Amino acid sequence: MAVKRTTTKPKVEAEENVEEVVEVEEVKDPRQAVKTYSQTVKAKLDKQEKVNIFIPLDPENPGDNIAMVNIGGCKYQIPRGEDYEVPKEVARVWNESYSKTIKATQDINFKKLD
């Protein structure tokens, strides 16, 4: 069964955080559409400038030595506790996520003091 859809997807560019509208005329196999999208995202990430990222060890989870970053179906497994080279957008996503996690943890700890 063919389905007509209009979707939005994030552009994979560290300098711009905008959404691009994508017209999908027919989706005959949704799994293939996702795979194609992931391949497109990976190709864009591969072209980006690479930067070093350092992800600290997690004292709450001592056996967790890998941090996962997923962008558009592209999964990056980044070792904790050492410098690691990734596309600039992967570093941006990690830093944004980590900042939000730290803030949420501080808010929770602050509420415990009440």
- Pairwise pLDDT comparison (79 vs 33), residue with the higher score: 79
Mean pLDDT of the chain: 80
Which has the closest alpha carbon to 94: 108, 109, 79, 105?
A: 79
- Beta strands 74-79; 19-24: pairing state: unpaired
Where does the pLDDT of residue 59 fall: very low under 50, low under 70, confident under 90, or very high at 90 and above?
A: confident
The arithmetic mean of pLDDT across residues 38-67, rounded, is 92
What pLDDT is stored for residue 88 in this prediction? 96
- Beta strands 66-71; 50-54: pairing state: unpaired
Where does the pLDDT of residue 76 fall: very low under 50, low under 70, confident under 90, or very high at 90 and above?
A: very high
Contact (CB, 8 A) for 9 and 73: no
